[in-house]
Amino acid sequence: MTRIETEIVIVGSGPAGATLARELCRQGRKVVLLEKGRWHQWPVGRFASMGTITRTVRSRQGGLMARGITAGGSSVVFNGNAYDPPSWLGSELGIDLCPETAATKAELGIKPLPESFYQSWPATRRLVESAGELDIPLHPQAKFIDPEKCDPRCDDCMFGCRQGAKWTARSFLEEAREHGARVLLNAEVDRVILEAGQAKGVKLAGPGGLQEVRGEKVVLSAGGLGTPLILMRSGIEKAGEGFFIDPMNVVLAVGKEHGTRGEMTFAFASEEFVESDGFLVGTVGALMVLGAQLAQRRSFRAWRRVLDLRRIMGMFTKIGDTPGGRIDPDGTIDKPYPAEDREKFRKGTEACQRILLKAGADPDSILIAHDIGGHPGGTAAIGRVVDRELQALAAKNLYVCDASVFPRSPGRPPTLTLIALAKYLAKRI
């Protein structure tokens, strides 16, 4: 049997896993990080990222979900938005991430893009002005983007960034390597090795080659879809329950003027209704909003909109959904939406339509791609599967650090929270 011995085993190289590896190696700890995917290069920033880097799955109910399987995880193909951790992490769970969040913002220069970018996006400005007239304030979004390297006419963040303007977890992964981490790619973990109620390492999937990585501590950072499957195969009860996805409805409309082609997706958003009604709304570039329709609807009416690409505008509404879904051991996802979630969708979608119509959209052109998710979590929640120190309740020296530990949906992109959470854990593990 081929085996590696180390101090700490980390599974997954996304925002949490890569950050944790970097922080621990800086402390002089011995780390082996295992990543299921490859270090893709050519597909980054191209449509070819779909299916190579980005893998899509559907729930039994038809909801579409995406995850990044590559070095750096989903950070390679996220849109670069940065939101502070939800307040309930501190007020309800006693996890104060303020120091780690502030340090991350300062280090990575997280802030909205320059005013000059916004001035070059006439259709987005039209949507912002129209929303303001409807008392729905849209504000510039803080970004993990270096404006000195960014092309404001590019809207390929969700395919990856060829300019190197967008931060990804790969930079932290490279730093971890420089500080001594051993990073193994194409390494799919099957389960955690548990002996006498303690984690002793992980067993890899597949015949031949490396079969085990033994360590004093194991941290799963394989994401809200990957982590629960490893936990279930390891015999950890209650993993896979409480699933949420932060789903979106993406609304397309065609106007008389030039649309949002070449204008950045998710550049403006409103959190005005997050606390009161459970949804946020924001702007979407033309190619992204059309792509959402084609991916989810697959209808002739959606394909016809290709001819209107220059005049297409887009809006999205994202809800904080009820953590009432589950992932089965075979990977099947069950994600129903109760009446309260459907009401959030209704209100958010209606707000998007009102903004688009105010901005000059043709009412007969509106299309809605329903239930598209990108932030899976809840499947190893604090209080159910792990404690407030992120250690498994059922096994010592086994930790989880990714969105699966959130007991409910943040309702907004979690990348900044995950980096801060990993820094928090690195001080305690």
Mean pLDDT along residues 17-32: 98
DSSP assignment, residue 390?
Answer: S
Task: Say if residue 68's pLDDT is above 90.
Answer: yes
pLDDT value of residue 348? 96
Six-digit token string for 351: 């707000």
Strands 8-11 and 217-220: parallel
**Cβ partners under 8 Å of residue 279, min gap 6:** 273, 317, 318, 319, 320, 344, 345, 347, 348, 351, 411
Q: Which domains does the chain have, with CATH numbers?
A: 2-108+162-239+376-426 (3.50.50.60), 112-142+247-373 (3.30.410)
pLDDT digits over 243-275, tens only?
999 999 999 999 999 999 999 999 999 988 888
Q: How far apart are CA 217 and CA 204, in angstroms?
A: 16
Q: Reduced to 3 states, what is the DSSP secondary structure of residue 204?
A: strand
Distance separating the N- and C-terminal Cα atoms of the chain: 29
pLDDT digits over 303-334, tens only?
888 888 899 999 999 999 999 999 999 999 99
Residue 364 burial by Cβ neighbours in a 10 Å radius (0-12, 13-18, 19+): exposed
Q: Report percent pLDDT > 90 for the chain.
A: 88
Mean pLDDT along residues 73-79: 95
Number of neighbours of residue 66 by Cβ within 10 angstroms: 21
Task: Say if residue 58's pLDDT is above 70.
Answer: yes
Mean pLDDT along residues 392-409: 97
pLDDT value of residue 309? 86
Task: Say if residue 209's pLDDT is above 80.
Answer: no
Mean of all residue pLDDT scores within the chain: 94
Q: Residue 305 corresponds to which amino acid?
A: R
Helices then strands (H, E): number in the chain?
Answer: 12, 22
pLDDT value of residue 210? 78
Q: Reduced to 3 states, what is the DSSP secondary structure of residue 8?
A: strand
Structure confidence at residue 301 as a pLDDT band (50, 70, 90) = confident
pLDDT value of residue 161? 94
Size of the chain in residues: 429
* Nearest by Cα to 89 from 411, 426, 382, 402: 382
**Cβ partners under 8 Å of residue 174, min gap 6:** none
